[in-house]
Amino acid sequence: MAIEFFNDGTHRCICFNDLAGEGEVQANQFLIVHGAKGMLLDPGGTKLFSRMIVELAMFMPPQRLEYILLSHQDPDVGAGLNGYLLITDATICFPSIWLRFIPAFCAKSLAADRVLSVPDEGGRLDLQGAEIMLLPAHFLHSSGNLQVYDPISKTLFSGDLGASLLPPEDPYPTVSDFDSHVQYMEGFHLRYMPSSRVCREWAAMVRNLDIERIAPQHGAMFEGREMVQQFIEWVAGLQCGADRLAEAGIYRVPE
Ligand SMILES: [Fe+2]
Ligand SMILES: [Fe+2]
């Protein structure tokens, strides 16, 4: 069931967290609605498309989507793009270094003149008068990766950073105990996040933002300032990716 986690009458944020079918990776799709327009974040793959449209229509007509953002090039992020291009006039926001992959996602003719190439330094969008920030989050985990900060709801949509693989019998929507939640994030972050240096730089950047919650693309959200703080500090201290592979001496020709 969709969770509306912010609503001030004009501005709403909604999480769809249970649309993945059996055997598919659980993923959260996020919708930001401001006035009559909307922005959809990481809409997901082709199998999810029809379910997503039905759920989305409960909050706004899909034709009123102004932007669709793909945080990076992974299939769980945007493999269903073709369908959205067919039924909406939304502008597709995509990291500039992955732009040449767009024809692999969808018909080139459909995407013509509808893709906003987001430069490495990020940028700001106008969603019917609401400012939405596109933040650089490169290498976390993709080499060209964006995150989204919504200053009205004070939500940082962090993509795969903060992703958790929760036990299927207990998929809680928000983290209530950070320490016991770490076990569900650790394996993914140690392998998929590239190095402690990038994690520290990200932490230094987001400490400048006023964040009420962090909403990752998989698993539970970090709700409230204390939880946000704990997560940022955890990321800042991560030894991951290349740090660990180098230690393990993995670069050996197999026997
Ligand atoms: Fe990913
Ligand atoms: Fe993902």
pLDDT digits (tens, 9 = 90+) for 128-165: 999 999 999 999 999 999 999 999 999 999 999 999 99
Ligand showing the shortest atom-to-Cα distance for residue 20: 2
The rounded Å distance from CA 209 to ligand 1 centre is 24
Q: Shortest CA distance to 69 belongs to which of 20, 122, 21?
A: 122
Helices 196-206/225-236 angle, 10° precision: 150
The rounded Å distance from CA 253 to ligand 2 centre is 30
Give the pLDDT of residue 21: 82
Give the pLDDT of residue 138: 97
Number of H helices, E strands in the chain: 9, 13
* Residue ranges per structural domain of the chain: 3-246
Q: Which single residue is written with the structure tokens 């706004």? A: 60
CATH, domain 3-246, list 3.60.15.10, 3.30.413.10, 1.10.1200.10, 3.40.50.720: 3.60.15.10
State mean pLDDT over 107-115: 89
Confidence of residue 83 (pLDDT cuts 50, 70, 90): very high
The residue count of the chain comes to: 255
Q: Which residues pair with 11 in a beta bridge?
A: 34
Q: Shortest CA distance to 118 belongs to which of 67, 160, 51, 66?
A: 67
Q: In terms of DSSP bridges, do strands 37-41 and 65-69 run parallel, antiparallel, or are they unpaired? A: parallel
Rounded-to-integer distance, Cα 191 and Cα 231, Å: 18
Neighbours of ion ligand 1 (CB under 5 A): 74, 160
Confidence of residue 105 (pLDDT cuts 50, 70, 90): confident
Ligand showing the shortest atom-to-Cα distance for residue 141: 1
